[in-house]
Amino acid sequence: MTEMSRIHLALPADLLNRINWYLPTGIRSEVCRSAIEILMDAIDEHGTGMIGLVLSKDVTFKPKPSTRQNLTASKENEQDEKQRYSSQDN
């Protein structure tokens, strides 16, 4: 089994609220590990310039066309969900 280490992050409250809304507690670590692994793979493939692209938000996550997953959330549903978790702040 791979030895695990911990990383601690400071997050804005609104981002934490989104994480709490969308990600069940049991999968949060795995989702973060996967996202970091995707970033590291991109840096390995394209170089450290990827870091600047991430920091400037010039890259996005999107499904590979070959996966043909049925992602059913429409833009309207996403807006409804965003309004729900943002109203939890108030």
pLDDT digits (tens, 9 = 90+) for 48-58: 999 999 999 99
Mean pLDDT of 4-28: 95
Domains of the chain, by residue range, sit at 24-59
| pLDDT, position 69 | 58
Scanning the chain, the segments in alpha helix (DSSP H) are: 13-22, 28-46, 49-55, 75-87
Q: What Å distances lie between residue 76 and 17, 31, 72, 87, CA to CA?
A: 20, 24, 11, 17
Each residue of 5-29: b (16+ CB within 10 Å) or e? Answer: eeeeeeeeeeeeebeeeeeeeeeee
Instruction: Please state the pTM of the whole predicted model.
Output: 0.69
**Residues with Cβ < 8 Å from 59, sequence gap 6 or more?**
42, 50, 53
